[in-house]
Amino acid sequence: MNTKKVLGIIFAVMVCFSTSYCLEESVSNLGSIVISKKKVPVSGFDPTEGSIIGQQFNGSSLGGLAFSGVDLQSRSPMGDIQTDFVVRGGTFQDTQMLLNGRRINDPQTGHFNSDIPVTSWDIEKVEVLSGSASVLSGPDAVGGAVNFILKKPQAHERFLALTGGQDRTTSVLVGVSEKNKDAGFRLSLENQQSGGFHEDTDFKKFTGALNSSIRIPDGEFTAAAGYLDKEFGAYDFYTPGSGFPSREWIKTYLVNTGFALERGDWIIKPDFVWRRHYDTFMLDKTQVRSTYLNHHRNDTYTPSFYVSRDMGVFGRTGAGVEYGEEKIISGNLGNHSRRHTSIYSDGTKDLTYRLSAAAAIRFDDFNGYDKIGTGAVNLKYAFTEEHSVFTGLSKNIRVPSFTELYYNDPITEGNSGLQAAQALNYQIGYAGKKESLLSGITVFLRDEKDTIDWIKYFPGQGKWRADNIQGSLVLGVENRLGISIKENIFLESAYTFTQKYEKEEGYVYKYGSGYAKHVNNTSLNFSTPFGLQVIGMTYKKKTGRDGWFLLNTYLSYNFNSKSCVFFKVTNACNIEYQEIEGIPQPGRWIGAGIQMSW
C-alpha cells in the first residue's frame, strides 16, 4: 500500500474522531513530558482535558507539542535551537508563551520565543490553550497559548542523560533535586552541541535552571531562575533562499517568583517575572557579501497581583492587576520602551449538575495605543461522565513587536505606526471516551482585524514592509483519536485542517500565507516488558507547496525501573523537506543514549 493510501486511511479515520486524552501511566522513558490541552489555573474549567506523552524523538522540550495542534516550524537540526510556535493557522507572532502561567513572549520578535532557559528534565507538562481559554495572561494569544509548567522539587532525586548521534551531535544533561518538610530545590545543567547536517548548521547550547520552593504560613513561595547561552549557524534563517552563511549568538536570563496563599475561601497570588535577552546576528560570517552585524538587548518586567474567593452560589470569582515594561537597546532598532497597566477578572460556576460556565475579562492600557478590552466565555455540558460538548467565544489582541515597529535593512522596513491586531475566536466541540477509545472534535473560527504581517504591495516591490491589513477569516477542525489496541499497545493520532481566507487580495504576504493546511501526527506506542518502543509518523502540507511525510522510531531497553538505553531515528526515510520555505531541514538522523535516575 503506497504512502498516499495510508495517509488517506488515517485522514478518513481522523475526520470522524479526535481526542484529548490522558494515559493512566506514563508509557515513555524517564525523561517524558506530558503535553495537554488545558487551561491556565485561573482561566476556568478545561473543556478538552487530557494529555499526551511526547519528546522521545528529538530529545527537546518541544517534541510532543505537535500532538496538541501546535505547528512547530524549526530552523535547525534540534527543534529547540530555534523554533517558531504556530497555533490554528496564525503566524509565529500570534502565539502567547507562558511559564507557570506567566507571559514570557520576547518583545523583539517571536522568533526568540523558544529561548526558554529550562531543560526537558525541568518540565512537568506543557499545556496548549485555545484562544478562548487564554485571555487573562495578556496579549499575543490570537491563535492560542503554550504554557510550560515546571516540576516541583522532589526528595533525593538525581538524573543523568547522555546522548550521541550523527553530525557529531552530543548532549549531556544532569539534574539534582532535594526536598525536606519546608523547602526544596531542583537544579539542572545541560550542554548540547552538533557539527550540523551541512555547512553553517552547527550549534552549541548550554542551559542552566534552578527551581525552588519554601513553605510559609498558609501557602508557598516559589522562585525559578534560568540561563541559556547558545551559538549557532543560522543558514538563511531570516533570508530564505538567499544562501547567506549567517551566525547568531544568544543569551537569555529569566527569573520568575511568586507566592501562592490560601486561607479559608481566599486565594492570593502575587507574582513577578523578569526576562533579559541578548542577540548578536551576523548576516554573512564570511564578510564577503555583507558586513551586516547587529547587537540587541531587551528586558521585560512584569509584576502582578491576583486574588480570588469562593462566593458560594456565585461560584469562584477572581480579580487581578498587572504592570509591564518592555525595553530594547539595539544597533538597528534603536532604543525604545513601552509600558502597560492591566486589570482583569474571571469567574467559574457549575450552573447545574451537568452545565459549567467560565468567563474572563481584561482591560489593557498600552502607552502609544488605545485602551483595549478583551474577554472570553466558555460553556461545557456533560451528558454523562464519558461524553460532553463545549463551546467558547473570546476576543484576543497582540501588540506589534519591536522588530515590526522599528527594524530596517536593505530588504525589510518596519512601521512605527502599526496598530494592535485583534481577533474574535469561536469554537465548538465534543469529547468522549468509551472503554479503550477516546475521541473528540473541535471546530474553530477566527475573525482577524488589523492583522500584522510583512507584505509587498506588488510582486516587484523591493522591500518587505510591516503593515496592518484588513484581516482574514480562519476556519479549521482539530481531530484526535486514542485507541488502546491491547494492554500494552496504544495508538494516538491527531489531525488538524486549517483554511485561511484573506480579506484583502493582491498583496504578497511573507508569513500569513505560509500556514500548514493539513497536519497529521500518528504514534504507535508499544510498552514491552523491557522498555518503550515507538513508531511515529508525520504528514504536513502547507499552502502552495507539496506535502511531506516523516517516519521516526524510538527504541529503548530498561535495565531496571530507573535506567535505560535508547536508540532513535528521525526522518528514517531521508525525505527532503523545508518547514520554512527556503531553509533546508536535516535528512535521516540516527542517535543513541543512556539515562538513569537514582
Question: At 69, is the pLDDT very low, low, confident or very high (cuts 50, 70, 90)?
Answer: low
pLDDT at 53 over 60: no
**pLDDT-based confidence at residue 357 (cuts at 50, 70, 90):** very high
Grid cell, residue 551, equals: 517516519
Q: Per-residue pLDDT averaged across 499-518, rounded?
A: 85
Instruction: Report the range of poorest mean pLDDT among 111-125, 509-523, 531-545.
Output: 509-523
What average pLDDT score do residues 123-128 get? 87
pLDDT at 593: 96
What pLDDT, on a 0 to 100 scale, did the predictor assign at position 368? 82
What pLDDT was estimated at residue 46?
Answer: 36
- Global pTM value: 0.88
Q: What does the pLDDT average to over 313-320?
A: 93
The whole-number pLDDT of residue 32 equals 52
CB atoms within 10 A of CB 232: 26
Q: 463 pLDDT band (50/70/90 cuts)?
A: confident
According to the model, what pLDDT value does residue 27 have?
29
Spatial separation of the C-alpha atoms in residues 366 and 372, rounded to whole Å: 8
Determine the average pLDDT of the residues in 45-57. Answer: 37
Mean pLDDT along residues 369-376: 90
Cα Rg of the chain (Å, integer): 23
Q: What is the mean pLDDT of residues 407-428?
A: 92
Residue 62 has pLDDT above 90, yes or no: no
Q: What is the pLDDT of residues 166-215, one digit of tens each?
A: 999 999 999 999 999 999 999 999 999 999 988 889 999 999 999 999 99
Q: Identify the pLDDT of residue 65.
A: 58
H-assigned helices in 402-457: 402-406
279: cell is: 542577540
Least confident of 351-360, 473-482, 520-529, 580-589: 580-589
Mean pLDDT (the chain, rounded): 86
The whole-angstrom separation of Cα 108 and Cα 113 is: 10
- DSSP three-state, residue 558: strand
Compute CA distances 235 → 75, 77, 200, 282, whole Å: 9, 12, 5, 11
Burial zone of 5 (CB within 10 Å; 0-12 exposed, 13-18 middle, 19+ buried)? exposed
Phi, psi of 313 (to 5 degrees): -65, -15
Q: Quick check: helix, strand or coil at residue 142?
A: coil
578's grid cell: 523545508
Selection from 142-151, 210-219, 499-508 with the highest mean pLDDT: 210-219
How confident is residue 52, by pLDDT bands cut at 50, 70 and 90?
Answer: very low
Three-state DSSP state, 437: strand
Confidence of residue 11 (pLDDT cuts 50, 70, 90): very low
pLDDT at position 25 is 30
Task: Tell me how far apart the alpha carbons of residues 128 and 85 are, in angstroms, rounded to a whole number.
Answer: 11
Q: What is the pLDDT of residue 31?
A: 44
> What percent of the chain shows pLDDT beyond 90?
63
Instruction: Give backbone dihedrals phi and psi of 102, rounded to 5 degrees, phi first.
Output: -110, 135
Distance CA 283, CA 28 (A): 41
Three-state DSSP at 91 gives coil
- Domains observed in the chain: 3-597 (2.40.170.20)
Task: For residues 130 and 214, give the distance between their C-alpha atoms in angstroms, rounded to a whole number.
Answer: 33
Rounded-to-integer distance, Cα 361 and Cα 184, Å: 36
Distances (CA, A) of 554 to 470, 516, 523: 46, 26, 11
Confidence bin at 58 (pLDDT 50/70/90)? very low
Task: Tell me the C-alpha distance between 378 and 111, whole Å.
Answer: 31
